[in-house]
Structures are given as C-alpha cells and as structure tokens.
Structure 1
C-alpha cells in the first residue's frame, strides 16, 4: 500500500493530506518505463558479444583482419605506383630519348577501363568500397606495368640495333697511320692529275707503299670486288643504315663479293691501278647515296690532335692522285 504523505497548512494550523495529480503519475510511470527500456537495450548491446557463437566470433575476426589486409594492400599499391611512376619518367626522358624513340603519352600509360561497370560484382558487401578501390588500383597498376614492359622490350631492341649500327658506321682509317706516307688529297674540288682539269674529288687519298694492308672501316657486306677503268681494282662495302664505302686503286683484292666483313678486316692492298698517278688508296664514304667528307668518320682512330692535323691537310687545294 502506498505511503500517505501530509503537509502542514499554516493558515488552518493543521496537517493536510498531499493529493497527487493524475498527470504527474503518468509522467513518472513513463520515465520509469523509458529508463528501464534504455538500460535493457544497453545491457543487450554490452552482452551481445557473449551471445555470439564461436563460429560467428571467428567470422567477425576474419572480416576485421580482411579489412586490415586490404588497407595494407592499398598502401603497398600506392608505394608501387610511385616506383613505377619514377621508372616511367626515366623511360621517357632518358632511355627513349637516348635511342631517339618517341616518348609514350601519359594518356596511353594511364588509360582507364571504359564500358560496363567491371566491379559491379564487388558491390553490396560490408567492405565493398575498400575492396573495389583496391581492385581498381591493382588493375590500373597491372595495365601500366604491361605498357612499361612493352616499352622496355622496345628499348632492348633499340639498344641491340644501336649497337649494330655503331659497329656498322665507318669509324676508322682504312690504312693504319704507321703505314701512311701522308694524306695526299682531301674532299672537295681538286686538279685531276691525268685529265688536268678541276673536278670534284669525292673522297680522300692516302699515299702508302704498294702492298700496304687496307682494312674495312665498318661492319658490312662486300657488294663489289672487281676491276674498273677508273678505280682499277676496287671494293664496295654496304654497311646498312644508309652507309657505303669505296676502296680504290688496289694492287690486290682479298675480299670476295657477297662476303660479310667486320671493322678492321683485311680487304686488300694499296696499289696504283686504274687512273692513278702513284701508289695510294682512294677512299670514299657515301651516306644515303651521296658522297660525304670521310674525315668525319675516323672517330674510332684519331686523337683530337691527329684529327685537327688531318683536317688541316685535307683542306689544302691542289692536285689529287686520281
């Protein structure tokens, strides 16, 4: 039974019974019920972990671990992407520049994946955003690696071609310095010793004793090895890449037509055959079908001082030997 409460009334000088209002009763009852429900809910949340089965708890731990692993994977993908970006920069600005290859456009390297949503199957899960982002990163990185791999394959082929080209370009004197008497005539207008008229001299004349060895100035293939009325015994070598060399007035030809030769191989001996005024080698270099000054193709032989001395001698205008 509820306790009856009284209060003292100073006007009547007596105790009067406290009457509770109905609204106050309902208010107190509502607050009590609400508080009880809140306590019960919080208690359920707090003890819900203990209500999970061992399998559910293991599954929850596995999902949390999976989320952590995806976050770590995303971080490692970012680091790998940075390393790949550095390699792409070196590829465009060093490797491809050196081998005179066009740089790969940024759009080609980082092109996305168009068309339908290829990640739709990853939607609708608790950690869909993390999984989808990591998968996208992995796909983009894989494509960039594929593009870079193709570029490096191309660089390797260019390097091999460059090595072959450097070995083929004429780069040494066809007669050794110690065997030379002098460089008799250079490239340009010269007085022909037999015709006694000024003519374009398309090569350089090296005076040396008859029988002095003559060497191929670059790798190539002998396309002619015969005797002509003008050049006497002469050898033509095609080097590829637009280069051809001519070795004229030999006393004896060693190389055979169709033979592949390397720079420094013996191809014949100095002589005085054809229209020649004295034993010497007439040597020509042609680039893309046109004769060029051979003096710029001795970088494999001459020191700077020797080059300057030869350049000075070659500029002396006078009579050629052929």
Structure 2
C-alpha cells in the first residue's frame, strides 16, 4: 500500500493530504525512463572508448606504426636530400670546374613536375597530406638524382679525356737523367756555325753519340726525315695543340704515322745537320708557338734537379 504524504498549511495551521495528479505521475515516470536511457548511452560510449576489440586495437597499432615509419622515412629523405645537395655543390664548384665544364643551373636541378592534379589519386585517406608530401619529396629527390647521375657520367667521360690529355702532354726529359752532361737553354744565343745572334727555341742536351732518345708524351710521328738544318729529325704530334721536335739524331727507329707512348725509344743522339758536337736539340710547341721545354719536365725531375738544370741551361752555349 502506497504511503500517504502530508504537508503543513500555515494559513490553517493544520496538515493537509498531498494529492498527485496522474499527469504529473506519468511525466515523472517518463523523465526517469529518459534519464536511465541517457545514462546508459553515455556509459556505453565511454565503455566503448575504454574497451575495444582485439582487431580494433591491432588496427590502431598498425596505423600508429605506419605513421611512425612515414615520419622516419621522411627524416631519411631529408638527410638524403642534404647529402645530395652537398654533392651537387662539389659537382658544380670542384669537379666540373676542374674539367672546365659549365655548372648545371639550379633551375635545371630543381625543376618541378607538370600537372596540378599529379597527386589527386592520393586524396581521400586519413593521412592524405602525409602521403602526398612524402610522395612529392620522393619524386623531387629522384629527379635530382637522375640529373646528378648524368652529370657524374659526364665527369667520368671528361676524366677519361683528361687522362688521355695528361698522358699526351710532353712531361719527361727526352734523354734519361745521367745520360747527358749539359743542357743549353731557351733564349737568345750566338749560333756556333752561322755566327749570328739567334733565338734558340729549344734545349740542347750534350751526350755521347748513340745515347737513346725517348718520346716525352703519347702521340703520333708526323715527320721522320733528314733536314739540312736539323739533320735527322723526328716530329711528334701529341694532340691538344702540342708538338715536339727531336733533332741532330744519328739514327731514327720510328717512321711517319707510327703511334708511340711516353718513354718509347724513337732514336739516338747524333751530330747531323748544323751541329758542332753530338747532342739532342729538343723543342716543345703549343699551337705552333715554341715554348720553353724546361717547363715540361715535371714527370721525372725533383725541385732540386729542376733548379740545377735551369741554372746550367742559362749558362751553357748552344751546339746548333
């Protein structure tokens, strides 16, 4: 049996019975029911956030792991881009400069990609921006690596050409050290036979008749003949504008059109032509201009030997 409730009426100074309308009763029940439903819903949401299924937890861990690796790859890409940037700088300022090649313009190295919707297919994912940025950085780095790779291929080709050139330029004495006595230098001299003041375009190496004479660089024999002035004389074309002359020989062991290497035997010291004693007259030309041969012995002279040779060449008399 339901309990009867009363309230104190101050006007009549007596207790009166509390009567509840049916509408109020039903409204109270409805509000209580809605409250229970609301509490249950809030509890379910909170509970679902705390307690997830094993597959959901695995999926969440996988997503977090993927995001971590994306960030790690992005960091490695930044490091690779930094290394590539340093290589590009050395390529332009050292390698290409050494081989006298034009540097690659910055706009060519870092040219963009065509198409505004190039990465549109990567939209619509939870981490679309991360994926798009990573893909874009990979594309840029890949293109720069292609440009750099082509540049290094060019540098290798230039290096091989430089190697050929360095082997061709006259760089050693035409007569071995110890085989000659005195060398007369490149300057104005009184000709010993003609008795006129004449510029001596080469160096004279005094040595016994039959002393071996060697090619000072790789090249091709373009003349091997007898001359009234030079006697038996050999001319070598080394390429790159360089030529050398070996005069007053007693014997020649090469012929026109023959390819030779630096250090190959080409003849022997003699006293042919306008010569007063056995010696080798040696000249170096670049683009048909005679140069001082003493600057082309760096291949087998020490600094001390070079200084001594330079001194004796200034003081001695020419033999042709």
TM-score by length of 2: 0.84
Instruction: Trace 1:46-57 onto structure 2 (pairs within 5 A).
Output: 46-47=47-48
Check 1:44–1:235 CA distance in 2 against 1; reply closer, same or farther (3 A cut).
Answer: same
Give 1:320's aligned residue.
Answer: 318
* 1:210-252, Cα deviation, whole Å (9 max, x unpaired): 1111000111111111111221111111112221111011111
Counterparts of 1:285 and 1:3, CA distance in 2: 133
- In structure 1, the gaps of 5 or more residues are none
Give 1:43's aligned residue.
Answer: 44
Q: CA shift at 1:128, angstroms?
A: 1.5
Check 1:72–1:177 CA distance in 2 against 1; reply closer, same or farther (3 A cut).
Answer: closer
Q: Secondary structure at the match of 2:108?
A: helix
Give 1:148's aligned residue.
Answer: 148
- In structure 2, the gaps of 5 or more residues are none
Q: Secondary structure at the match of 1:178?
A: coil
2:296 matches 1:306: no
Worse-superposed segment, 39-48 or 282-291: 39-48
Partners of 2:203 and 2:282 within 8 A in 1: yes
Counterparts of 2:33 and 2:232, CA distance in 1: 123
Counterparts of 1:28 and 1:223, CA distance in 2: 121
Give 1:80's aligned residue.
Answer: 80
Q: Secondary structure at the match of 1:137?
A: helix
Q: CA shift at 1:109, angstroms?
A: 2.1
Q: CA shift at 1:258, angstroms?
A: 1.1
Worse-superposed segment, 307-316 or 5-14: 5-14
Check 1:18–1:240 CA distance in 2 against 1; reply closer, same or farther (3 A cut).
Answer: farther
Counterparts of 1:295 and 1:103, CA distance in 2: 35
Q: CA shift at 1:193, angstroms?
A: 1.8
Counterparts of 1:178 and 1:201, CA distance in 2: 23
Aligned residues, how many? 318
Counterparts of 2:226 and 2:5, CA distance in 1: 144
Check 1:248–1:17 CA distance in 2 against 1; reply closer, same or farther (3 A cut).
Answer: farther
2:109 matches 1:106: no
Instruction: Trace 1:122-201 onto structure 2 (pairs within 5 A).
Output: 122-183=122-183, 185-201=184-200
* 1:234-289, Cα deviation, whole Å (9 max, x unpaired): 11111122211110111111111111111111000111111222211110001122
Q: CA shift at 1:11, angstroms?
A: 5.4
TM-score by length of 1: 0.84
Counterparts of 2:99 and 2:7, CA distance in 1: 107
Counterparts of 1:28 and 1:295, CA distance in 2: 119
Instruction: Trace 1:13-28 onto structure 2 (pairs within 5 A).
Output: 13-15=13-15
